[in-house]
Structure 1
């Protein structure tokens, strides 16, 4: 299995061996990449996890009510059919 601590040590050694200009470039690229991603994600019409969970619960309750109504209609139809016979 891969040792995470060893990988961190290797990454640290590589980072320390990089020239300062490359380190600065990498840092700038990270900042710019985050800015672009945040900007593009903000443009998407997305909901929060909390909003998604709330809507999921609403949908579940709606489905339960629909199932109850379908059962009641079936019972009423059965009663109506018996009365016709």
Structure 2
């Protein structure tokens, strides 16, 4: 999967290929406008960045480990109570 910088670089390359007769300033302006549109669409889709995803995944893993530890503790306590 492309990160945003790679995606915008790809867009810039495509604009340059499709409109080679335009000057660099016009190509940059078109690519900038497309970047704004894509950024707006991504925002509306409510997507998260890779960094945010990785951070939430780490929180989930820590929470899962804590839950497993608590489940083990509860099982040990239940065993002691039943003895």
Q: SS where residue 52 of structure 1 aligns?
A: helix
2:11 corresponds in structure 1 to none
Deviations 1:49-76 (CA, angstroms, capped at 9, x unpaired): 1111011001000000000000000000
1:71 corresponds in structure 2 to 72
**Considering only aligned residues, what root-mean-square deviation do their CA atoms show, in Å?**
2.7
Pairwise CA distance, 1:33: 5.0
- Count of residue pairs the alignment pairs up: 62
What's the TM-score once normalised by structure 2's chain length?
A: 0.56
The whole-number CA distance in structure 2 between the counterparts of 1:22 and 1:56 is 43
Work out which of the two has the higher radius of gyration on C-alpha atoms and give 1 or 2: 1
Pairwise CA distance, 1:41: 1.5
2:5 corresponds in structure 1 to none
The whole-number CA distance in structure 2 between the counterparts of 1:31 and 1:81 is 69
Q: Which runs of 5+ in 1 are unaligned?
A: 1-14, 16-20
1:45 corresponds in structure 2 to 46
What's the TM-score once normalised by structure 1's chain length?
A: 0.54
